[in-house]
C-alpha cells in the first residue's frame, strides 16, 4: 500500500492565480477582502481532491493519507482559527452539479487524526493541515466512488473583516474505485499453450490481405492488421468455443510492419458475449530491436488471478505509431 500525501499547491499560489478556481462568474477569492477558504486540486472547478484506489484480486494500491488545509487570500495580521468538519449533507448537491453518483464515504472506513480547529498563524497564508486516513480501502468497492465533503463551519480571529468563502468553503474528497487483474509486466508466462482449434476470432476492421484468422494460423510472418483509420475502434474478440480457465495470453508482435503494434490494451471477459467484466489494462512495448518472425519478442498479457470465461476482448487503445495496428499470433495458457 502506498501512502501519498496531498499538499495542494493551489493554496500556496499567489492571489492572482486564484481566479483559476472559479467558474465564468467573478470569483470572490479575487476580491480585496480577507477570505478564508479550503483548497482542492489545482484549477478544480468543483473543488475536488481525487483519491484513486486500484483493487486487484490480492490487494489495494493508491493513496491512503490525504492532507488538506485552510488558506487565506492574504497574510493574516492575527491568528485565525478555522473549524473544518465532515459534512455528508452535501453529497447529493455535488452529484447533481457534477453528474456523478458517488455515495458518502462510510464513517467506519476513515479517521481524521486531528479534527476540529486549524490555525492560520499571524503573518501566514495557510493553516496547519487536517489529516484524513482511509483505514479500510479494501471495502470501498462501489464503482461510482465515494465522497467526503470537508467544510469550514466557523472562523475565529482578531483580523478585522475576515470572512468564510461562499463558494470555496468545502473541499470534496472523492475516493474512486478501479479494478485491475492484469500483471504490470510483459514477460510471457511459460507452459503449454491451449489448443486454438475451436477459436472464432472477430476483429474490428482489417487491411486487405491481413485478416483476423492470421492471428491463429501458426505463422509468425503473417498478421492481422487493422484499418488505417485514426478514429475507428481497434479490437479483437476471441470466442474459445466454451468456457476456459486462463492464466494469460502470449502475443507475438506484428512483424509484417513492426511499427504497427499495440502498447496498451484494455482486456475484458464475458461468459455470453453480452455482459463484459473489465479485467484491467495491459501496457507494453513494441517488438524489441533485433527480434523477428523467426525469433519473436513474445509479449505476455498475464492475469493476477486466473479468469474463467468463453469470450476474451482486447481493445487496443495505444500503439507504437501511426493509425494501423496488428497482432502476429495470439496464444492462451
Say yes or no to pLDDT of 10 above 80: no
Q: How many whole angstroms separate alpha carbon 153 and alpha carbon 231?
A: 49
Instruction: Report pLDDT digits (tens) over 214-235.
Output: 999 999 999 999 999 999 999 9
Cα-to-chain-centroid distance, residue 301: 20
Give me 274's grid cell.
453480452
Distance CA 220, CA 250 (A): 12
- If asked whether residues 175 and 44 sit together in one domain, one would say yes
Number of domain units in the chain: 2
Whether residues 14 and 156 share a domain: the answer is yes
In the DSSP assignment, the letter for residue 285 is -
| pLDDT of res. 29 | 65
284 in a structural domain: yes
Question: How far from the centroid of its chain's Cα atoms is residue 17's Cα?
Answer: 27
Does a structural domain hold residue 320? yes
Task: List the domain range (segments joined by +) for residue 48.
Answer: 9-179
Q: What is d(CA 333, CA 323) in angstroms, rounded to the nearest whole number?
A: 30
According to DSSP, the β-strands at 277-283 and 262-270 are antiparallel
Q: Cβ–Cβ contacts within 10 Å for residue 268, how many?
A: 18
150 and 206 co-located in one domain = no
238/124 same-domain check:
no
Residues 62 and 164 reside in one and the same domain = yes
For residue 11, what pLDDT is reported? Answer: 35
Residue 88 lies inside a defined structural domain of this protein? yes
Question: Are 38 and 123 within one domain?
Answer: yes
pTM, two decimals, is 0.80
CATH of the domain at 160: 2.60.40.1510
| 169 and 204 part of one domain | no
CA distances from 62 to 44, 47, 181, 183, 194 (A): 21, 20, 15, 16, 35
Cα 112 versus chain centre, distance? 25
C-alpha 135/C-alpha 275 separation (Å) is 33
Q: Is residue 174 part of a domain?
A: yes
Does 94 fall in a domain?
yes
Same domain, 123 and 205: no
Q: In this structure, what CATH number is given to the domain that contains residue 301?
A: 2.60.120.260
pLDDT band at 302 (very low <50, low <70, confident <90, very high): very high
CA-CA distance, 10 to 12, in Å (whole number)?
5
Q: Which pLDDT tens digit goes with each residue over 62-98? A: 989 999 999 999 999 999 999 999 999 999 999 999 9
Q: How far apart are CA 87 and CA 50, in angstroms?
A: 17
Amino acid at each position: 500500500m502506498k501512502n501519498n500525501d496531498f499538499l495542494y499547491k493551489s493554496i500556496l499560489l499567489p492571489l492572482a492565480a486564484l481566479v483559476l478556481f472559479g467558474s465564468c462568474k467573478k470569483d470572490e477569492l479575487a476580491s480585496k477582502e480577507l477570505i478564508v477558504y479550503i483548497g482542492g486540486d489545482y484549477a478544480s472547478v468543483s473543488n475536488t481532491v481525487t483519491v484513486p484506489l486500484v483493487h486487484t484480486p490480492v490487494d489495494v494500491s493508491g493513496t491512503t493519507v490525504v492532507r488538506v488545509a485552510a488558506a487565506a487570500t492574504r497574510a493574516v495580521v492575527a491568528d485565525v482559527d478555522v473549524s473544518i468538519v465532515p459534512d455528508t449533507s452535501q453529497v447529493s448537491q455535488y452529484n447533481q452539479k457534477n453528474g456523478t453518483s458517488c455515495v458518502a464515504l462510510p464513517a467506519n472506513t476513515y479517521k481524521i487524526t486531528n479534527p476540529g480547529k486549524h490555525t492560520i498563524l499571524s503573518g501566514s497564508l495557510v493553516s496547519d493541515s487536517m489529516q484524513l486516513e482511509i483505514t479500510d480501502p479494501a471495502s470501498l468497492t462501489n464503482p461510482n466512488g465515494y465522497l467526503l465533503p470537508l467544510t469550514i463551519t466557523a472562523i475565529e480571529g482578531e483580523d478585522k473583516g475576515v470572512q468564510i468563502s461562499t463558494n470555496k468553503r468545502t473541499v470534496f474528497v472523492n475516493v474512486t474505485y478501479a479494478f485491475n487483474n492484469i500483471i504490470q509486466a510483459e514477460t510471457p508466462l511459460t507452459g503449454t499453450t491451449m489448443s486454438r482449434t475451436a477459436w472464432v476470432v472477430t476483429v474490428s476492421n482489417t487491411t486487405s490481405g491481413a485478416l483476423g484468422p492470421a492471428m491463429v494460423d501458426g505463422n509468425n510472418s503473417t498478421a492481422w492488421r487493422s484499418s488505417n483509420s485514426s478514429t475507428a475502434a481497434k479490437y479483437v474478440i476471441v470466442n474459445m468455443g466454451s468456457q476456459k480457465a486462463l492464466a494469460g495470453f502470449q502475443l507475438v508482435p506484428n512483424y509484417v510492419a513492426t511499427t504497427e503494434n499495440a502498447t496498451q490494451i484494455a482486456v475484458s471477459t464475458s461468459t455470453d458475449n453480452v455482459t463484459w467484466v473489465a479485467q484491467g489494462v495491459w501496457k507494453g512495448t513494441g517488438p524489441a530491436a533485433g527480434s523477428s518472425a523467426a525469433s519473436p519478442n513474445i509479449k505476455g498479457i498475464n492475469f493476477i488471478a486466473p479468469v474463467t470465461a468463453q469470450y476474451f476482448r482486447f481493445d487496443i487503445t495505444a500503439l507504437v505509431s501511426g493509425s494501423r495496428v496488428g497482432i502476429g499470433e495470439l496464444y492462451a495458457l
